[in-house]
Chains A and B, each alone.
Chain A
Amino acid sequence: MNAIIPARRAPARIENVSRRFILKGAAATGALVLGTSIGLPKGALAAYNTGAGGMPHGVVTDPKVFVSIAPSGEVTIIAHRSEMGTGVRTSLPMIVADEMEADWSRVRIAQAPGDEVKYGNQDTDGSRSTRHYLIPMRQVGAAARAMLVAAAAKRWNVPADQVSASNHECVHAASGRRLGYGDLAQDAAAQPVPAMDTLRLKDPKDFRYMGKGKISITDLRPITVGTAVYGADVRLPDMKYAVIARPPVTGGKLVSFDPKDALAVPGVEKVMEVQGWPWPSKFQPLGGVAVVARNTGAAIKGRDALKIVWDDGANAKYDSDSYRAELEASTRGSGKVVRNDGDAEAALKSADKVIVGEYYLPHFAHVSMEPPVATARFADGKLEVWAPVQSPGGTRDDLAKTFNIPVENVTVNVTLLGGGFGRKSKCDFAIEAALLSKALNAPVRVQWTREDDIHHDFLHTVSSERIEAGLDKNGKVVAWRHRSAAPTIFSTFEAGAKNAAGFELGMNFVDMPFDIPNVRCENPDAAAHTRIGWFRSVSNIPHGFAQQSMVGEIAAALGRDPKDVLLELIGPARIVPYSPSVEKPWNYGEPVDSYPIDAGRLRHVVEVLADKGEWNRKLPKGHGLGIAVTRSFVSYVGMLVEVAVDDQGKWTVPRVDACIDCGTYVNPERISSQLEGAVIMGLSLAKYGEITFKNGRVQQNNYDNYQVLRIDESPPVTNVHVIPASADTPPSGVGEPGVPPVAPALCNAIFAATGKRIRRLPLGQTLAT
């Protein structure tokens, strides 16, 4: 859910997606396309713009693309975004159904294949689906409703404004006549698609499904009975099963291999080289040796028996211990200045007190429960793929490019994703399956094992964060210097990239919202030695950790209530302007008029948390409360964590309160579940999250030495508080923004309980003494 760069494009092109390009894409199908600067129809709609039009292929709102009605009355609505656990496959069609007055029990959802010309952008990442598609999906539903009403009016020969639509039928009140959607289906389809500026959207008070949280996800029953189809559940006739041994060091190559013992394993049919691309190559496969068998178990056993010689290449010396020392040294020196307000240097020099915090966060692996997997069939110059991909359109483009065939000859079928968290925005595994299918002239499934997943992930970066805060003699923070050094995601696209991209800088670094007169942000160089990628909430994790931990450190130095200090730093309710010193400010791709940095909303989250989370409650001995709040993915999320630390330093979390302001929303029940999950993921990374390298190789293998939280160590109570908003408050992200405040709230709580300040993650089960 995390890709900020549209997955398929090289960096140079990312900033250049022009509106003309989008319109051209639309003209090809005659679909109606809206882009940010094209604007929304006046008067008919909530008046806010989004960055949707700036995404590759923009937005499509043609009801004929998204809705079809059978004579039986069954309404089929297309879900064009990928389902990885957020509920989007249900939420977006639910918006259409509500707006078109379809009865949800008669709605079927069909998953779109990768086809962005037809459906608009499909990159399911960046916590964008609801924020970009709430209004377009309402438009689709309203247009479909208008066509049904027009068809009924024509049938009855009455003016359309005398006909209304309600719960799957059209009604002529004056005569009492009614016609079901099934009866009207054919006539409605023959109606012209109404112009967007003539559409009337429902009054929010008439919503049946939106905002209510009463609709369960469409896959609920199939998931509980084992029939839901994930990436590895597609079975084709004569399909082969393969696993691949990949170079253990990023940028390494195959030298030679001996297949003899592997071929002796029962069920193994073939051992062959797989093409790899030199690093960095965006999302192209790493190459290696494939073992092809009649089932996955045989392929894995065969691979264990392979003898392979690798050339480790340029990253053979990557070592996490020495790299950490390097990064920390770099944040102690100066770096590229990326924000500069006032004179932080001078203000630090003349400050009454300077507080310095050095924070370190290691690489994290995504370890979605479903490891990468894909099935492909390459036949007669046509390629069909079944895969759990977050970026179906990008996957299609990358496949077409890899095999030099027209995109029309590539079909990407999107299965359910067993978790994504950004890993599945990269389609290397789908390309691998296609390479093997082409070579073997048979359908092939490539299954990654958990070890493969951990060894060859596109990891979350590793970072050193250093903040110096200068206080005057009244205890007011007058200077803030933050240095952040971390290998950039750009390094996966561009060899030698060493500085943060705009979107990384814009994640709680140069957009830091505090009311401080002298602020300087610096970004020292950091070279990458492995594949770096998006991980749920991306750079907000290290930046937010440092920023919110420093608030706790300031409060401690002043001997004041951390919540009060946090509110004081946020300052009065106001729109915080982006510092003019920031070159190309980045706002999650959204226009600032609709999505400004709103200090009032940030404050409000803190206040709600303090109230509902009972900030002033009495705690048993050894317990402490910590609070943190961050704005990310244009949402405002805070966490209030209670920790309990025993005499041995073993810590547990009895209760967490989470609060989100994500503007207007569609399915509060799924917002709750996303926040509950974010708490677990945030605690997982705080407790265990660490991938380390030695001799260029990842040292962790599976869930035994790359642990994630289990149920017996999870908080028994997580309360989620979703702040209500009117229908014209622009919707904002939900999938990712819950993660960043968790770890700093936890560490602030540990400080409250023990007086010990944690500046390095992970903590482990027991606090070091």
Chain B
Amino acid sequence: MVKLQVNGKDRSWDGDPDLPLLWYLRDEAGLTGTKFGCGQALCGACTVHVDGTAVRSCITAMSAVDGSKVVTIEGLHPTGDHPVQKAWRELNVPQCGFCQAGQIMQAAALLAGQGNPSDDDIRSGMSGNICRCGCYQRIAAAVRVAATGT
């Protein structure tokens, strides 16, 4: 039996311990904000925080998060107003929006670890997250806004 906390709520899973966290969150726990884009840690759409670190939930087995605290886009901020979320709205970042939960989770983790990243830090820190719509210029600008207010 895997025990974990998701967005502050205690949960348990007694199914296949190899099940990727992504599918537990989406199909078993009903938290559909976390997206499936590749299943191979190539795109970042499934990014969540496990004990404060950004991880790709598509390749993270349930057995690996036993005893962990998981935060998804739904739990990033109680009212959805994390500085990264606010910056994303201020700059109208999304096109289709499908990659954006993963982008926001990645950016939030990046800023938690590094308060004022350089442009190169942002480009390398966000390089695991694909946006097929091509919102990159705005993503970079929004991370900067979230970090510095400008």
Contact = CB atoms under 8 A, between A and B. Distances in A.
Interface string A343-369: 000000000000000000000000111
B135 interface: yes
A602 B16 CA distance: 60
Nearest to B31: A226
Given A224-B85, A296-B27, A703-B42, A677 B130 contact: no
Interface in A700-719: 702-704, 708-712, 714-718
B89 A677 contact: no
Nearest to A268: B16
Interface in A200-230: 216-217, 219-221, 223-230
B33 interface: yes
Interface of B is mostly: loop
Contact of A419 (B19, B73, B89, B98): B98
Interface in B5-50: 15-16, 18-20, 22-24, 26-28, 30-40, 42-43, 45
B94 interface: yes
Given A221-B89, A300-B39, A226 B123 contact: no
Contact of A416 (B74, B97, B129): B97
A226 B74 contact: yes
Interface stretch (A393-401, A404-412, A592-600, A678-686): A678-686
Nearest to A720: B137
B137 A717 contact: yes
Contacts of B33: 225-227
Interface in B32-72: 32-40, 42-43, 45, 72
B141 to A, nearest CB: 10
Contacts of A673: 92, 95, 135, 138
Contact of B45 (A266, A369, A674): A369
Contacts of A63: none
- Tell me which of A224, A417, A676 has the highest count of chain B C-beta atoms within 10 A of its own C-beta: A224
Given A221-B80, A369-B98, A416-B96, A266 B32 contact: no
A267 interface: yes
A86 B18 contact: no
B122 to A, nearest CB: 8
Nearest to A675: B134
Contact of B16 (A266, A684, A717): A266
A296 B97 contact: no
Given A224-B80, A296-B36, A679 B96 contact: no
B147 interface: no
B136 A714 contact: yes
B76 to A, nearest CB: 8
Given A84-B96, A216-B89, A678 B27 contact: no
A659 interface: no
A626 interface: no
A370 B37 CA distance: 6
A186 interface: no
B36 A447 contact: yes
- Tell me which of B26, B30, B34 has the highest count of chain A C-beta atoms within 10 A of its own C-beta: B26
A297 B24 contact: yes
Contact of A450 (B22, B34, B37, B128): B37
A367 B101 contact: no
B91 to A, nearest CB: 10
A551 interface: no
Contact of A224 (B19, B94, B128): B94
B131 interface: yes
Contact of A710 (B23, B85, B122, B130): B130
Contacts of A294: 15, 27
A452 to B, nearest CB: 10
A216 B140 CA distance: 19
A459 to B, nearest CB: 16
Nearest to B124: A712
B104 A224 contact: yes
A177 interface: no
A702 B135 CA distance: 21
Interface string B82-122: 00010011001011111111001000000000000001001
B99 A297 contact: no
A232 B88 contact: no
Given A225-B73, A449-B39, A450-B37, A220 B94 contact: yes
B92 A669 contact: yes
Interface string A47-68: 0000000000000000000000
A369 B94 contact: no
A418 B31 CA distance: 17
Given A297-B27, A680-B136, A718-B137, A370 B35 contact: yes
Contact of B19 (A297, A367, A712, A717): A297
Nearest to A216: B92
Contacts of A232: 26, 32, 35-36
Contacts of B99: 369, 418
Nearest to A451: B39
A369 B23 contact: no
B38 A450 contact: yes
Given A296-B26, A711-B136, A450 B39 contact: yes
Given A232-B32, A300-B39, A369-B98, A419 B132 contact: yes
A233 interface: yes
Contacts of B135: 673, 676-677
Contact of B27 (A295, A420, A450, A709): A295
B96 A368 contact: yes
A119 interface: no
Contacts of B72: 226
Contacts of A450: 37-40, 42-43
A702 B37 CA distance: 10
Given A680-B134, A710-B130, A716-B137, A86 B98 contact: no
A219 B140 CA distance: 21
Contacts of A223: 94, 97, 100-101
B126 interface: yes
A70 B26 CA distance: 35
B142 to A, nearest CB: 10
A716 B33 CA distance: 29
Contacts of A221: 80, 89
A99 to B, nearest CB: 23
Nearest to A713: B127
B34 A226 contact: yes
A677 B134 contact: yes
Nearest to A299: B23
A703 B42 CA distance: 6
B98 A702 contact: no
B74 to A, nearest CB: 5
Contacts of A716: 119, 137, 140
24 contacts: A219-B94, A220-B94, A221-B80, A223-B94, A223-B97, A224-B85, A224-B104, A226-B31, A226-B33, A226-B74, A228-B97, A267-B16, A297-B27, A371-B37, A450-B40, A677-B133, A680-B133, A680-B134, A702-B42, A703-B40, A704-B42, A710-B128, A711-B127, A712-B124
Given A221-B89, A673-B92, 20 more contacts: A83-B96, A223-B100, A224-B104, A225-B74, A225-B85, A267-B15, A295-B23, A296-B27, A297-B19, A297-B24, A369-B35, A370-B96, A420-B96, A450-B37, A450-B43, A673-B95, A676-B137, A677-B95, A681-B134, A711-B126
Interface of B: 15-16, 18-20, 22-24, 26-28, 30-40, 42-43, 45, 72-74, 76, 80, 85, 88-89, 92, 94-101, 104, 119, 122-124, 126-140
The 5 closest A-B pairs by CB, nearest first: A226-B33, A680-B134, A418-B98, A297-B23, A85-B96
